[in-house]
Amino acid sequence: YLFELIKQLRQLRNQYQVAYQKPIPLFVEGNEEANEFIRGNLQYLEKFCNIGEIIYLKQKSAMKKAIAIVFHEVSFYVPLGSLIDEDAELMRLEKVQADLEAEIKRAKGLLANPGFLGKAPKEKIEQEKQKLALYERRLLETINNIKELTK
């Protein structure tokens, strides 16, 4: 699962727009076998994810304000505070939310317009429906990110 962990950590960096040059801490909560696996593959995590430090947790402890990545019986946590300026990220997410809501309103208006539906090619109508679905998914993700940030 090393490849999947690297993929998840890189996606996390991308999602929160964290520069690769900024090292991030990684908390590992698992059994000794999992800890040994991480120690044995540390060079890959450092090279491909720029992990600054790895902290091995002794007991179960759901971390607050942290992103959890779970594989089998092992949980990995990246504290949000180490990734972002929370206030700036909240402002950015609220702007993204407003932009997406405006795009959804525009797309719904267009798709409710009988003139557009009567004159536009079927491909264009389908394209607008796909855009609307994409905007709605992104809005849901953005709202979830805002909720996670304001816990």
pLDDT value at 129 more than 80? yes
Kindly state the average pLDDT of the residues 69-78. 80
pLDDT band at 62; cut points 50, 70, 90: low
User: Does residue 21 or residue 69 have the better pLDDT?
Assistant: 21
DSSP the chain: -HHHHHHHHHHHHHHTT--TTS-EEEEEES-HHHHHHHHHTHHHHHHHH-EEEEEEESS----TTEEEEEETTEEEEEEHHHH--HHHHHHHHHHHHHHHHHHHHHHHHHHH-HHHHHHS-HHHHHHHHHHHHHHHHHHHHHHHHHHHHT-
Q: What share of the chain has pLDDT > 90, as a percent?
A: 44
Q: What is the pLDDT of residue 104?
A: 97
Domains by residue range for the chain, with CATH: 2-83 (3.30.2320), 86-149 (1.10.287)
